[in-house]
Amino acid sequence: MSAQPIPGLAAVLRDGRQYVLDSVQGLTEDQASKKPAPGRWSVLECMEHIAIVEDRFYGWILNGTENAPEKSWERETKLFTMATDRSYKVQAPEAVVPTGRFATLQEAVAEFEKFRDRTMQLANDKGVELYSIGATHPRFGEMNGSDVMNLMAAHARRHADQILETREAL
């Protein structure tokens, strides 16, 4: 049984998933493992990072606090815009830096899809209850569960854009 849905959240998660999948479509394993330049991530590393962060953010929601900020479309929009802006680089925290967990792009994509399925199910099950779940992001501060899910979608899109940039550089 699903709760009252948050308008637009399912579409943001679904469309974000497709954007990521489209970004890796047609790549060979060899292409996916090549780095476009020293110090830059390969497509495979980007996909590993996307999956790790999706899982981490999911845990924030499951283990959230009751100190959730009120819903704010303005905050959600600002978070989404900031997270997808590739005009500035962000250093990933050590806990989510790729370490070679996946041997193939296919494995990484499957893990991302598994995590996104789980995220979408949680969005469906919790619905507006997500507004009452609190989490703290080290960069963006206090968030509610809906904010976190919107940030998940934005984060995945940011790295899908990085994947597209990497494809062009190869």
1 has a pLDDT exceeding 70: no
Q: What is the pLDDT of residues 87-106, one digit of tens each?
A: 988 899 999 999 999 999 99
Q: Please provide residue 143's backbone torsions phi and psi, each rounded to the nearest 5 degrees.
A: -140, 160
154 has a pLDDT exceeding 90: yes
Instruction: Answer for the pair 5, 138: CB distance below 8 angstroms, yes or no.
Output: no
Q: What pLDDT score does 90 carry? A: 87
pTM comes to 0.94
- 135 DSSP β-pair partners: 143
How many C-beta atoms lie closer than 10 Å to residue 3's C-beta? 13
- Please give the Cα distance from 167 to 156 (Å, whole number): 16
- Please give the Cα distance from 43 to 104 (Å, whole number): 10
Architecture of domain 9-169: Up-down Bundle (1.20)
53 has a pLDDT exceeding 90: yes
Place of tokens 């080290």: 138
Average pLDDT, the chain: 95
15 has a pLDDT exceeding 90: yes
Beta-carbon contacts of 71 under 8 Å, excluding residues fewer than 6 positions away, are 131, 144, 146
